[in-house]
Amino acid sequence: MKEIQRTSMNNYSSLHIGGEADLVIAENENNINEIHSYVQSNGLKMYVLGMGTNSFYSDVIKDTLIVKIEIPGINFKDYGDYVVVTAGAGELWDDVVKYSCGHQYWGTENLSNIPGTIGASPVQNIGAYGVELKDILESVRAYDTSTSSFVELSNIDCHFGYRDSIFKQNKGRYIITSVSLKLSKTPNPILMYKPLDSLLEKNTINLSEVRDLVIKTRTEKLPDYKIYPNTGSFFKNPIITSAQGNVLKEKYNDIPLHEVKDGYKIPAAWLIEHVAEMKGVRVGEIGTWPNQPLVLVNYGNATCENLLSFANLIVGKIEEKTGIRLEREVNYVE
């Protein structure tokens, strides 16, 4: 089996938060078989990691082997009007987007510049600017730890929801080894979301314009984790019932309520800014990002405890005033 290293997980979280743990790298499916046998015979838990851009860890991590996936490779198959691009779970998500846009395959462009690996992308069903991974995902290949065998999961099998999937619902069961995307060879721009709607005025829209505008928007709004350690949105946007929405509208008449299937989705950023009044606020070395308070930033050497107590402060204030309990979007490994 590949060598296990004792390492600081601080270096494997873009929030730079976490204590020491045992870590092993998997570069192919055979490595995964071996690692799973080792974990089973030693009574350990496993945490599967891509790049660590959506994870943070407790100050003390016990009985968990961190398995970092570095399975490489990007290729495609042509089916006439569409192609299926398949990438090893260890490839960077944005490298797959760059590859797809470079070949003029439509579908991934709105999801440009999202940090992390493609293997992590189905877990939280990454989404931005009106597109979610589920809209373009063909299938996922994964190791099923409950049967010790490799399986092929179709889009429907993945049970996707808003920042949700079977991989979140059954934590620890699957280890994703590759992801296949179904992409269009004919132009298919999705531009209903601001500021991409500004491109609608044009007669012809090319793929690189959409990608460039997404990259520009994200760069302006979101902090670069290499300078200001963060993991993107820390909380999910909560979904509430229509009845709850109507009560809140009386109290906060400018609250943005976006209609969804079972009620309303509220921007968590709005609640943090206007209800908790914590936009751009810092406590010690943890704070909310001034341009987008849904992002929590580690401004120094904050501990996991510092981060959790800051996050709980936000959750508590919003719950007290609205009854809404924000849920974490980021993975926390204890």
Residues designated catalytic? 163, 233, 329
Tell me the residue number closest to ligand EPU, measured at CB.
Answer: 232
Q: How many CB atoms lie within 10 A of CB 308?
A: 16
Q: Which residue from 269, 275, 297, 311 is in contact with ligand EPU, where contact means CB under 6 A?
A: 269
Q: Which residues pair with 258 in a beta bridge?
A: 265
CB 323 within 8 A of CB 332: no
- Total residues binding ligand EPU (CB under 6 A): 17
Q: By CB under 6 A, what part of segment 136-195 binds ligand EPU?
A: none
Question: 3-class DSSP state for residue 64?
Answer: strand
| 135 makes contact with ligand EPU (CB under 6 A) | no
CA angle 218, 293, 331 (to 5 degrees): 80
Residue 190: phi, psi to the nearest 5?
Answer: -110, 105
Q: Name the residue among 236, 216, 224 with its Cα closest to residue 126.
A: 236
- Residue 145 or 237: which CB sits closer to ligand EPU? 237
Question: Looking at beta carbons only, is 78 or 277 nearer to ligand EPU?
Answer: 277
Site residues for ligand EPU, window 275-314 (CB under 6 A)?
279, 292-294
196 binds ligand EPU (CB under 6 A): no
The reply to whether 232 sits near ligand EPU by the rule CB under 6 A is yes
Q: Is the peptide bond before 122 cis (omega within 30 degrees of 0)?
A: no
| 3-class SS string, 200-231 | HHCCCCCHHHHHHHHHHHHHHHCCCCCCCCEE
Instruction: Examine residue 128 and tell whether it contacts ligand EPU (CB under 6 A).
Output: yes
SS3 196: helix
Select the residue interacting with ligand EPU from 10, 177, 233, 322 (CB under 6 A): 233
Shortest Å, Cβ 118 to ligand EPU: 16
| Of residues 4, 10, 49, the one with CA closest to residue 22 | 4
Nearest residue to 238 (alpha-carbon basis) of 255, 222, 223: 255
- Smallest gap from Cβ 143 to ligand EPU, in A, equals 26
Stretch that binds ligand EPU, among 31-39, 133-141, 262-270, 301-309 (CB under 6 A): 262-270
Q: What residue ranges bind ligand EPU (CB under 6 A)?
A: 128-129, 221, 232-233, 236-237, 256, 267, 269-270, 273, 279, 292-294, 329
